[in-house]
Structure 1
Amino acid sequence: MEHTGPLSGVRVVDLTAMVMGPYCTQIMADMGADVIKVEPPGGDDTRYISVGPEPGMSGVFVNVNRGKRSVVLDLRRPDGAAALRALIADADVFVHSMRGAAIARLGFGYAEVAALNPGIVYTNCYGYSRRGPDADRPAYDDTVQADCGIPAAQQMLTGTPGYVGSIVADKIAGMTAVYATTMALFHRERTGEGQEVEVAMFETMAAFMLVEHANGMLFDPPLGPAGYPRALTPNRRPYRTADGYLAALVYNDKQWSAFVGAVQPAWAGPELATLARRAARIDEVYARLSDTFAERTTDEWLKLLRELQIPASPVRSLDDLFENEQLAASGFFQTVESPHGPLRFPGPPTWFSRTPGRIAGPAPRLGADTDEVLGRLPAPDGADR
């Protein structure tokens, strides 16, 4: 596998499963890192959770494990543990997604790994920080969404608690693990020092939700409850038009003035003329706009709003993304050959002028690279591969 990109030359030993950790290391693989995915004999559970061309190669697994190499090791056996120690000795990064007690029982806590390789960046991908009482609670995206307030926020919009239609906690925590790991690599580049990094899904999502929703609770004493009103008004939703739906945000004063001047709604008086005034009456603003947008077709509104430089988009389906003109023109999708035929992956969403990333290859079958990877290591004492 040829590796290009800003992380070319970085070797990652990846003991993650499901989505949070694998998404982190998938991004690193796209950016040029050599990612060795260490799996138990049964494989990562994500291999089996969605449609795929053969058992163990589900679409979700194939996407978040592309460009990696798969090595099967039973870490409960002395030879498996010895092989992992040999991999660690030659690695730059060690990433795992086990609970703290579980990784410690296997003998691969930070102290043991750093003793083998003092310069390694050791990244823990947990559900909850080990510094709190929930340290060893199991966690999945749904439960973390509930803990960080997402279903409660959805209830304010719809009347019923609900998850958002994406595994946002897994993915946001995965991206957080990428930047935390690369920051530690940057520190090592300057000082030679390795270190331990912790990324907890719950704490990550609490920080994410409170960017705007901390609101009045930021202050001591509080100036109001948590919650950003514009995001939580029940009328914040795609507008129904005469023939479909439209997303639009007439937000700042320049946009508002242009919209009112072009459309001339009778209800848009001076009490709504400034952003501060509209923010104080945001539910009324959305309700009024909803009535107005129902008067024309989606295409009519798109033409006008784009002429006025007001952000607007039709409501597209997930399938529509694969035919999107913007994504096609920007080279977003990358086709990679695999044993099952061509795969059209959503490629790296970032661009580098000197070290562009790319998808290094398809996802590996379970254990496909075990012999190749372990065959290049010095045989551990007493190990029988």
Structure 2
Amino acid sequence: MEAERKDSQPLDGVRIVDLTSIVLGPLATLTLAGMGAEVIKIEASEGDNVRLAGSALHDDMGHVFLHGNRGKRSVVLNLKHHAARDALLRLIGQADVFLCNVRPAAMRRLGLGPDVLKQTNPRLIQVTACGYGSRGPRADLPAYDDLIQGAVAIPELMQRHTGGEPAYVPLSFVDRVAGLHVVYAITTALYARERSGLGQFVEVPMFESAAHFVLADHLAGESFVPALGSSGYDRLLSTHRRPYRTADGYLCVLIYNDKHWRAFFTAIGQSEMFERDLRFSTQRSRSINIHEVYGFVAGVMASRTTAEWRDLLNTIDIPNQVPATLDALMDDPQLRASGLIGEEQHPTEGRLRTLGSPTYWNGTPSPTLSATPRLGEHTREVLKGLGYSEQELEILVQEGAVEVASTDK
């Protein structure tokens, strides 16, 4: 019994039917698969669009797809075909969670609206990852990461910070923020079902998720009614908040509290400045004058090499970090030791670097995730598990209702 508990995963026995694509939904179900959930990924015949994105050995196994879909099984269903819809409903009847990023109106047209799914499985947790919340006027608009970054003022914030042109954050920022909202929504809904015995419908909109992220930092003076000042958190927006240029490179430095500032001024031979210059004397004053404060540090940092600054700052306990390159990050000893970066032999894609979970659980070892699936790799296996005979499967394939993986790799 003890061995059973030790080897079990937090989400063992939870089956998730995943009708999502690109980054948001796949990140959520990848995370849940890493907690032990069974994830069945439903794809159209052309596959998830992101299969074609980025570096690839084979066209339909791009690096973004590879890193977002380990631990899942791929089933190809043509949901415009009635037999494929029947198969999906049969699968949903045995599932705990159905995650979808198809707009609700389109799902209703397919005969797969929330009421139909609830009738099929009253314990089902239905989660829709959408662009905008259904209670607002933009509910039916399409949404992509770049568009939502624009909608939540990220390009403006980037422009104010750099003093240049409006720009996107060079990450799938909104998709990944909203994807993590999906994770806690699903796990919390599963917990709620343990109490009530009933499933429910949960909506996770990209716009509201990202707006919450942005406004928590940048409401600033507009937090108060009437406003005490404008929006925008000055510390984050200062053009000097960046790695400081040293005599021979760059260094990230955060001189944060009074102890740090006293030690810093003493180390650079200006010990009297902490008391004399009121801009630096208190946390509140530094916050109000943050642009000048960061500007002063930027000017001083150029006077020594990176190595000289590191030696000095480490001696006086001021946090600092040499900014990494992407190439260096891939071989970071911390990430290797913690298991975030590993390697595996993929059946068709060769030797791959893999990304594990950033969390560590001392009572439940991380599961070994199966290799990222080829398109339709598990169609036969999953449908047979639903009771379809080999003959019935052949008919579904011939009718174009389902597809199975090609064998030419």
Contact in 1 for aligned 2:155/2:168 (Cα 8 Å):
yes
Distance in 1 between residues matched to 2:168 and 2:53, nearest whole Å: 19
**What runs of 5+ residues in structure 1 fail to find an aligned partner?**
none
Distance in 1 between residues matched to 2:18 and 2:54, nearest whole Å: 22
The answer for the alignment partner of 2:22 in structure 1 is: 18
The 3-state SS of whatever aligns with 1:38 is: strand
The answer for the alignment partner of 2:378 in structure 1 is: 369
The answer for the alignment partner of 2:211 in structure 1 is: 206
Q: Is 1:128 aligned to 2:132, yes or no?
A: yes
Distance in 1 between residues matched to 2:183 and 2:120, nearest whole Å: 23
Instruction: Report how far residue 311 of structure 1 moved.
Output: 2.0
Contact in 2 for aligned 1:336/1:359 (Cα 8 Å):
no
Out of 351, 367, 373, the residue aligned to residue 342 of structure 1 is 351
Q: Is 1:260 aligned to 2:269, yes or no?
A: no
The aligned amino acid for 1:15 is L
The answer for the alignment partner of 1:78 in structure 2 is: 82
1:109-188 equivalences under 5 Å are 109-159=113-163, 160-188=165-193
1:351-370 equivalences under 5 Å are 351-370=360-379
Aligned length: 382
Out of 314, 317, 332, the residue aligned to residue 325 of structure 2 is 317
Distance in 1 between residues matched to 2:367 and 2:303, nearest whole Å: 46
**What runs of 5+ residues in structure 2 fail to find an aligned partner?**
1-6, 397-409
Instruction: Report how far residue 4 of structure 1 moved.
Output: 5.6
The answer for the alignment partner of 2:228 in structure 1 is: 223
Instruction: Report how far residue 101 of structure 1 moved.
Output: 1.3
Contact in 2 for aligned 1:37/1:68 (Cα 8 Å):
yes
Distance in 1 between residues matched to 2:236 and 2:168, nearest whole Å: 15
Contact in 2 for aligned 1:6/1:357 (Cα 8 Å):
no
The aligned amino acid for 1:354 is G
Length-normalised TM-score, structure 2: 0.90
Distance in 1 between residues matched to 2:109 and 2:366, nearest whole Å: 37
Instruction: Report how far residue 284 of structure 1 moved.
Output: 0.4
Distance in 1 between residues matched to 2:269 and 2:171, nearest whole Å: 38
RMSD: 1.7
Distance in 2 between residues matched to 1:256 and 1:4, nearest whole Å: 49
The 3-state SS of whatever aligns with 2:36 is: coil
Distance in 1 between residues matched to 2:378 and 2:350, nearest whole Å: 20
Q: Is 1:307 aligned to 2:330, yes or no?
A: no
Q: Is 1:196 aligned to 2:204, yes or no?
A: no
Distance in 1 between residues matched to 2:203 and 2:64, nearest whole Å: 25
The 3-state SS of whatever aligns with 1:284 is: helix
Distance in 2 between residues matched to 1:211 and 1:358, nearest whole Å: 35
Instruction: Report how far residue 265 of structure 1 moved.
Output: 4.0
Alpha-carbon displacement from aligned partner over 1:88-114 (angstroms, at most 9, x marks no partner):
011011001111211221122221111
In 2 relative to 1, CA 69–261 (structure 1 residues): closer, same or farther, beyond 3 Å?
Answer: same
The aligned amino acid for 1:262 is A
The answer for the alignment partner of 1:298 in structure 2 is: 306
The answer for the alignment partner of 1:44 in structure 2 is: 48
The 3-state SS of whatever aligns with 1:94 is: strand
Instruction: Report how far residue 236 of structure 1 moved.
Output: 1.2
The answer for the alignment partner of 1:68 in structure 2 is: 72
Name the larger-Rg structure: 2
Distance in 1 between residues matched to 2:270 and 2:141, nearest whole Å: 54
Q: Is 1:274 aligned to 2:278, yes or no?
A: no
In 2 relative to 1, CA 4–17 (structure 1 residues): closer, same or farther, beyond 3 Å?
Answer: farther
Contact in 2 for aligned 1:233/1:282 (Cα 8 Å):
yes
Q: Is 1:287 aligned to 2:314, yes or no?
A: no
The 3-state SS of whatever aligns with 1:114 is: helix
Distance in 2 between residues matched to 1:81 and 1:283, nearest whole Å: 59
Out of 214, 236, 239, the residue aligned to residue 234 of structure 1 is 239
Contact in 2 for aligned 1:68/1:364 (Cα 8 Å):
yes
Contact in 2 for aligned 1:155/1:162 (Cα 8 Å):
yes
The aligned amino acid for 2:76 is V
The answer for the alignment partner of 2:4 in structure 1 is: none
Instruction: Report how far residue 273 of structure 1 moved.
Output: 1.6
Distance in 2 between residues matched to 1:201 and 1:72, nearest whole Å: 26
In 2 relative to 1, CA 308–327 (structure 1 residues): closer, same or farther, beyond 3 Å?
Answer: farther
